[in-house]
Amino acid sequence: MSSFVVRSVRADEWRAAKKLRLAALRDPVAHLAFLETYEEAVGRPDSFWQERAQRGAEGATGAQQIIAEGPDGEWVGGLVVLVEEPGTTDWTGVAVEQRQGHIVGVFMLPEHRGYGLTDVLFDAALEWAWEAAGVERVRLIVHQDNARAQRFYRRVGFVPSGVTVPLGEGSEVELEFVMERESHP
């Protein structure tokens, strides 16, 4: 694992960011983990991917995309930390009550899972959220049926907040997990 580099993306790396996102959307549990489909994403213009990479690039203040890069330069996993400001609404339309980080887009290529690399990604994400963004709380949303992700989030210190987010017309819900800064080791 010492041969991997965990870092923020650079704005000019949008092609690699697009490739990783498309790989994530082809994962067997993508329907539980992501709100967009491969078909939606692959049809987006280059300008979309360029803007997305720029918004989360090194030095950005409203978001940070953090990736794990292998010794050969291949991106093997990543996530994004969004900063949510009080007085705004989140993607579900619910009012944001405090300045907080929101981790989204968590993905690791299957052949790199189980080696602790996702832990390192989360450490980097939380460090950015606490130190660079100055938030006191970080949250994430996970599908009720995504047990693998829920186990991981609990293991790294996130706890269910009790907030649920209904998905569409059915009975499916997503669960909010949170970590307060003072509870982070």
CA distance 75 to 108: 9
Q: What is the pLDDT of residue 185?
A: 55
Place of tokens 């949170």: 178
Local structure of 181: helix, strand or coil = helix
User: Is 178 within 8 Å of 138 (Cβ atoms)?
Assistant: yes
Q: What is the pLDDT of residue 90?
A: 86
In this predicted model, what pLDDT tens digit does every residue of 114-164 receive, in sequence order?
A: 999 999 999 999 999 999 999 999 999 999 999 989 999 999 999 999 999
Place of tokens 């890069």: 69
Name the residue type at position 54.
Answer: Q
User: Is 91 within 8 Å of 98 (Cβ atoms)?
Assistant: no
Distances in Å between the Cα of 9 and the Cα atoms of 58, 158, 177 are 6, 25, 25
Q: What is the pLDDT of residue 184?
A: 60
Q: What is the pLDDT of residue 15?
A: 97
Q: What is the pLDDT of residue 1?
A: 58
User: Is 139 within 8 Å of 176 (Cβ atoms)?
Assistant: yes
Distances in Å between the Cα of 144 and the Cα atoms of 37, 45, 120, 150, 170 are 19, 32, 25, 8, 13
Q: What is the pLDDT of residue 169?
A: 72
Q: Give pLDDT < 70 ranges for the chain.
A: 1, 183-185
Is 49 exposed, middle or buried (CB count within 10 Å of its CB: 0-12, 13-18, 19+)?
buried
